[in-house]
Structure 1
Amino acid sequence: MKRTSSIVMFLIICIGVLSSCKDTRTKETVVTKAKKPNIVFVLADQWRAQATGYNGDPNLVGKTPNLDKLAAEGVNFKNAISVTPVCTPFRAAFLTGQYPTTTGMIFNDLHLPDESVTLAELFKDAGYKTGYIGKWHLDGMGRFDYTPPERRQGFDYWKALECSHDYNNLIYYEGNNSEKKKWEGYGPYAETQDAISYIQKNAEEEDPFLMVLAWGAPHFPHASAPKEFQRQFNKEDIILRGNVADDMSEKAKEEAVGYYSHILALDRCIGDLEKAIQDAGISDNTIIVFTSDHGEMLGSHHIRPKQKQVPWAESVRIPFLLKYPALLGKKKIEVDAPINAPDILPTLLSLADLPVPEFIDGESMVDVIKNPGLKKDKATLVMNVSPFAGKSDEYRGVYTSRYAYVKTLDGPLFLFDNEKDTLQINNLINKPEYKELQKQMEVTLQKELEKIGDEFKPRQYYIDKWNYNLNAAGYIDYGKDAKPQGPSLNK
């Protein structure tokens, strides 16, 4: 008994001595060390991977200093892919880590089922504050209608709208207020300033935050870009990609002026965001991601400007930059292995040292970030389950770090060696000397489809499977008695 008392007394003395020692570390340093990383996820709309200065677009070299700096100090996934290059399918895949054929989110204007487990919900369960600013496009109840809290998939702070590209008259809903509000001036500028306010408010809080800033630009209309940037481009001086046909060039150059002008404006926003994070003293422990939901054809392969949804690289390849100084420092890392929309969620969870649920289709790319030589042979799916915009067929395909192979229901569509043929002009399909490669790519495609249980059937099969009601044009029909058009209707 005495021996126990002596031990207790000794411990009390030791604790007292330790307590009296002055801790020279600041409170901020202690909290930052223990705190999970903040996440600032910036999502653009219709920004193709080729349209970046750091990727060598001649119209942008030297004109996007903030994105170039982000690419120089972080991770550049050189082969990032939009699983289905239209808005709603990508956004659902990003938030859930699942493929469109898993969630049923196969075309635009669908309702992501309330029972879906999402990015915000998973991080919220781990103690994160969550915020969403900008374009949502996952509610399926009308593009200008109010999205109530129960349909926000775990995001608490809310200044968003389902979908609008009227950048100089951009409306939004705030919090639990169903009254329409309007961003002042050019919408992306105002949205970015609100994101900066969110960062400043939450930087010193004990809980980490996850904030998604989703711009509608550089999606058309392109002529609504800020005039100060439009003055930096002359239509005659625009350099188009070498796969744009002559009869498309005039219109493509006209659209490109505004497209690139939006990009310069958004590059300024990236700089403002980075400065705010730096000024708040949280840059080391903040993960910044910049990407887009899909690309833009701008006349390539004789496909009109403003078009996406098709499987060519201008449509499916997207920029993807990631910076996390606390883990990766500020060194330039280039990753050849492809990353797809369903891979984003497990990658963010892994970076935050959180478990990845088994229901997620995608895979974490953290090991590849740390060792860029890994998974160079990885293949990732592209799919158009239910075409709805322009002339396009159903397709399934795979992109690797080198090759692209796509087939329609009628058979193989194309096979390209993207290293030797960056413009995807020389189609290798059915060429005798590439017979074995084509066979290997078909086997690879089938393996990827088997993983997610997709048999690649006609679009009507999936429309019937998910019980969608479409109008004659193939779009969701919003009526006064409309109900969410989503897979949950099957339950």
Structure 2
Amino acid sequence: MSRKKQVIFIMTDTQRTDMLGCYGNERMITPNLDRLAREGIRYDKAYTTQPVCQPARAAIFTGSYPHSCAGWSNCMGLSDNVPNIGQRLSDAGIHTAYVGKWHLDGGDYFGLGRCAKGWDEDYWYDMRCFLEELTPEERYRIRQMESIEKYNITEDMTYGHRCADRAVDFIEKHRDENYFLVVSLDEPHGPHICPKKYVDLYEDYEVPIKENMKDTLENKPEHHRIWAGEEYLKVCREDFSLKPKEFLGCNTFADYEIGRVIDAAEQQEDAPIIIYTSDHGDMMYAHSLTGKGPALYEEIVHIPLIIRGLGQGVDTNPVSHINLAPTIFDIFGVPIPKMFEGRSIWQEVLNPQARCNDYVFMEFGRYEVDHDGFGGYQPLRGVYDGRYKMVLNLMTSDELYDLEKDPQEMVNLIEKPEYEEVKKRLHQAILDNMYETRDPFRGYYWEDRPWNRRTEFKTWDSRLMTRQRENEEYEPRQLDYGTGLPMTAAVRKKGESDAKFAEK
């Protein structure tokens, strides 16, 4: 722990684990992130809560699952009664600053250009702020991949570089304060804009063709086949090759900008703690799919996570973005709010051999509100226990994979009777999590599945429970409907407090 409690939280967008050298791909040029991994703790089984930009960020920056804070789709503003962690930490006396992509205000991809509650307005710099510095011609050019060569894109023209500039300025000016600084890069997300020299590093690089890039999806959910379509199923052809030089070049450019922030931090007498992650990955034709969407395949949900400044090693236990907010609060010594839906992995940070999560949970609601496409509403809930991954696809069919035997998730085991105990255990874990977190989409339809007929709660009243929120730091304690008095227990049988105060 540094003399001052200082944490720099760095994140990228659409950066898969195999896009970092430290996660085993020696062809990737990411020296700064690789150095963080050598000097810190690398988490080998870290997962996003939802493989979409806004929902992933919602979990990180509110401590709540996307379904709990109305962040379950891009372009939806979060619930007004869900404070972000900047507001909570600021109210606890920590200087908080957010530089970079926010994507939580409902203001389409770029944001509204308005500082969210709790963060230092002098450093707020979402993508709308960046674009409004440019002329209309410059805005257009910076969104076209062809501009890399056509207009000789330089570092100072990019969003990532200007974010790093502000982050370095903050670090230098606030070295004597307790602070929480977020540096949120849009890179390497499309349109993959960066100086040409980074693209040239991958001029001759071809992505190795894995078995799951030839997946014809026969035993997979129907919506995966619709997503793939005839165009994307071309990956099964022998002549298929993938050369994403701009994407990977921008990936190395992001590493360079992150290096500038790390270098500035290391100029301090006591270097701040650095936490690094990415929001989600990209399918890149795995399972014949592109982008991200309503699936929980490893390519889009298994994300990089590194913490430097609290020890060294490799942690092989399952962890989640939902664990980050309470862990950050533990680092600062701030009480963890009841509203946080994940547990702190502080003990695991101190000892990577410890295991804080029996399961990590993932979900999907909708990809985008502004656009009709991307499959529309595709509700799913999933769980991973470190070996097995289960996915409940409410409107199609379900999935079960053994990642130890089948790391590329080719064989769907959901109909295999020999996995009966595993299926029931994971199914129960998903249901318990949905009810414990007040999932607004919970109901009997998640319980009664073709491979596990559970009908005990297939009634209109379901589990006959009341589950109210506890957010006393920012609002009065909620009242019981039947008595008008403050609730005594947030989770209780429906109507049980009525009897307690009933006239005799």
TM > 0.5 fold call? yes
- How many angstroms apart in 1 are the aligned matches of 2:196 and 2:107? 34
Amino acid at match of 2:425: Q
1:317 matched residue in structure 2: 302
2:375 matched residue in structure 1: 391
Of 414, 422, 433, 1:437 maps to 422
SS of the aligned residue for 1:396 comes to strand
- How many angstroms apart in 2 are the aligned matches of 1:335 and 1:294? 19
What TM-score, normalized by structure 1, do the two folds share? Answer: 0.75
- How many angstroms apart in 2 are the aligned matches of 1:412 and 1:238? 31
- How many angstroms apart in 1 are the aligned matches of 2:26 and 2:306? 20
Of 125, 141, 146, 2:107 maps to 141
Conserved? CA contact 1:159–1:172, under 8 Å = no
2:169 matched residue in structure 1: 197
* Cα distance, 1:172–1:320 mapped onto 2, change above 3 Å: farther
1:145-183 residue CA offsets vs partner (Å, 9 max, x unmatched): 64334x44444333322569xxxxx52579xxxxx9x99
* Cα distance, 1:91–1:362 mapped onto 2, change above 3 Å: same
Conserved? CA contact 2:101–2:110, under 8 Å = no
- Structural mapping, 1:168-187, within 5 Å: 170-171=130-131, 184-187=156-159
1:55 matched residue in structure 2: 23
Of 352, 367, 371, 1:372 maps to 352
- How many angstroms apart in 1 are the aligned matches of 2:56 and 2:395? 25
Amino acid at match of 1:196: V
Instruction: Compute the displacement of 1:450 (Å).
Output: 2.2
Of 223, 242, 245, 1:253 maps to 242
Amino acid at match of 2:197: E
1:218 matched residue in structure 2: 188
1:94 partnered with 2:41: no
How many residues are aligned here?
400
Amino acid at match of 1:45: D
1:427 matched residue in structure 2: 412
1:467 matched residue in structure 2: none
- Structural mapping, 1:59-458, within 5 Å: 59-60=27-28, 63-143=29-109, 146-149=112-115, 151-162=116-127, 170-171=130-131, 184-203=156-175, 205=176, 207-222=177-192, 224-235=193-204, 237-245=206-214, 247-248=234-235, 253-254=242-243, 256-283=244-271, 286-304=272-290, 306-324=291-309, 328-329=310-311, 331=312, 333-375=313-355, 378-388=358-368, 390-391=374-375, 393-410=378-395, 412-454=397-439, 456=441
- How many angstroms apart in 2 are the aligned matches of 1:394 and 1:251? 32
1:80-116 residue CA offsets vs partner (Å, 9 max, x unmatched): 1111111111212111101122111110111123442
* Cα distance, 1:443–1:323 mapped onto 2, change above 3 Å: same
Amino acid at match of 1:208: N
Percent sequence identity over aligned pairs: 26
- How many angstroms apart in 2 are the aligned matches of 1:294 and 1:210? 22
Amino acid at match of 2:171: I
2:461 matched residue in structure 1: none
- How many angstroms apart in 2 are the aligned matches of 1:145 and 1:440? 41
- How many angstroms apart in 2 are the aligned matches of 1:201 and 1:252? 48
Amino acid at match of 1:418: L
Of 5, 8, 12, 1:44 maps to 12
- How many angstroms apart in 1 are the aligned matches of 2:76 and 2:240? 31
2:493 matched residue in structure 1: none
Conserved? CA contact 1:416–1:428, under 8 Å = yes
* Cα distance, 1:307–1:100 mapped onto 2, change above 3 Å: closer
Instruction: Compute the displacement of 1:187 (Å).
Output: 2.0
Instruction: Compute the displacement of 1:342 (Å).
Output: 2.1
- How many angstroms apart in 2 are the aligned matches of 1:369 and 1:302? 37
* Cα distance, 1:234–1:420 mapped onto 2, change above 3 Å: farther
Instruction: Compute the displacement of 1:447 (Å).
Output: 1.9
* Cα distance, 1:136–1:213 mapped onto 2, change above 3 Å: same
1:430-460 residue CA offsets vs partner (Å, 9 max, x unmatched): 12322222222212222222221337469xx
Instruction: Compute the displacement of 1:220 (Å).
Output: 1.3
1:6 matched residue in structure 2: none
- How many angstroms apart in 1 are the aligned matches of 2:379 and 2:81? 28
For structure 1, the residue ranges without an aligned partner over 5 or more in a row are 1-30, 165-169, 175-179, 459-491
- How many angstroms apart in 2 are the aligned matches of 1:113 and 1:430? 39
- How many angstroms apart in 1 are the aligned matches of 2:50 and 2:241? 23
1:308-359 residue CA offsets vs partner (Å, 9 max, x unmatched): 45211111111111112xxx34x2x222222222211100011122210111
